[in-house]
Amino acid sequence: MSAIRLTQTVQKGGCAAKVAAKELRKILEQVRFPAPHAALLVDGSHFDDAAIYEVTPEVALVQTIDFFTPMVDDPRTFGRVAACNALSDVYAMGGKPVTAMAVLAFPLVTFENDVVAAILQGASDMIGEAGANFVGGHSIDDDTLKFGLSVTGFVHPRRVWSNQGARAGDRLILTKPLGTGTLTAALKFSDVGEAGIADAIDSMTTLNNVCDYLSPELADGVHAATDITGFGLSGHSWQMARASGKSFRFESARLPAFAQARKFLEEEFLTKAHRTNREYTEGHLDDTALEPWQKLLIHDPQTSGGLLLSVAPERAEAVLAALRPRFSHAELVGEVSEGEARLRFV
């Protein structure tokens, strides 16, 4: 395999390459969508992680798609991260993935076949770990490498998690540390190698299959969920607060972060998304209690980040205990209250 560094072939990588949420909302406001079917339980109106379509009273489809440019250099690792990131959307809805199709664009002239095969193998490994089927996909010749998956899963229609169900009194649990945006920015600018951010790569290639670790009783205690990706903790949690009509309070000392996240944020290894995520949530959060690096951390664009769960207070500790063997950095990070959709960091 050629020694190509994937991060050097693109201007921006991972979920940091997402269209800014503020601009995306402006675009979508100009689009007239078809009238939804009665069976469509969750659509894109609240920026949820996936769509839910009821097939029978016992079965609903979970449908999502996610792709991006590389944020790591090793092709097989990139495939694993991209697949894990796409599969996460199904888990965020309380579902389990069953099929996945590849979305692939790459420059045929400059990329050797073994590089692309390694990306697909990495994705296949992750899909297999999820117990899903890799059933095909679509590829094009393009100037820039892009890869991801369209994933379909199943969920019981009455056990759907969405970003709309947070209740006053709920506790907020975050399953993974923050900081992949700044760490992969440092990687791109050669300030660190992949070995130096191994903890982040391990996290980005850990499936968010929290439902596999929760009993039915504990799973029923999860009232809302979302995965923290390109819009950062700030953007995704505000969307959840807005969709639920609630206020979120976060304890800054409890927010998990990767070991080198503070260092690289203070050294200003930043992405465009750090700015656009701040602009997106401006006027909707109070961060006056945070240190300067923490103000950047909450806007850090995560790739294959953790799930944010809004959990009934009487089950929160039990849910956390059930998740800790799989997600060692999972933490109770805040609580939900009545009031205007707003975030407060203390």
Q: How far is CA 167 from CA 11, 218, 232, 254, 332, in A?
A: 40, 16, 22, 21, 16
Tokens of 276: 């656009």
Which residues, other chains included, contact 196 with Cβ-Cβ below 8 Å and sequence gap of 6+? 187, 260
* pLDDT for the residue numbered 346: 97
User: Which residue is catalytic, options 6, 7, 12, 15?
Assistant: 15
DSSP state of 177: -
* pLDDT for the residue numbered 341: 94
Amino acid, single-letter form, for residue 10: V
Q: Which of 187, 180, 174 lies closest to 5, judged by CA?
A: 187
* pLDDT for the residue numbered 2: 55
* pLDDT for the residue numbered 343: 98
State if pTM tops 0.85.
yes
Q: What is the pLDDT of residues 240-281, one digit of tens each?
A: 999 999 999 999 999 999 999 999 999 999 999 999 999 999
CB 226 within 8 A of CB 92: yes
Whether 15 sits among the annotated catalytic residues: the reply is: yes
* pLDDT for the residue numbered 75: 97
- What 3-state DSSP class applies to 173? strand
Domains of the chain as residue ranges with CATH = 6-155 (3.30.1330.10), 171-345 (3.90.650.10)
Q: Which residues of the chain have pLDDT under 50?
A: none
* pLDDT for the residue numbered 4: 82
